[in-house]
Amino acid sequence: MGLEWLKPGAFFGSILYAVIGVVVLLASFIVVDKLTPYNLWEEIVEKQNMALAVVVAGMALGVSFIIAAAVHG
């Protein structure tokens, strides 16, 4: 395998894709939050709605898998 991943182009490309992935994940959370009739963050953090937290975690994992597949090719 070697040290190809240490080349500046590959290293900074990986960092760039990671940042893009996090931004897309955050944007998808915001879109889902706006589409639901209540505030997801308030429901999860303040009211400790565990069922909603599991649903949002599933959404986050699903979007993460899609982003990873798109980046990987």
The residue ranges of every structural domain in the chain are 26-73
Predicted pLDDT at 64: 86
Q: How far apart are CA 2 and CA 8, in angstroms?
A: 15
Dihedral angle, C-alpha 35, 24, 69, 8, nearest 10 °: 180
With contact defined as beta carbons under 8 Å apart, do 27 and 63 qualify?
Answer: no
Closest by alpha carbon to 31, among 60, 65, 10? 60
pLDDT tens, N- to C-terminus, the chain (73 residues): 567 767 788 778 888 888 888 898 899 889 988 998 888 889 999 999 999 999 889 988 998 888 888 777 6
CA distance 29 to 8: 32
pTM comes to 0.72
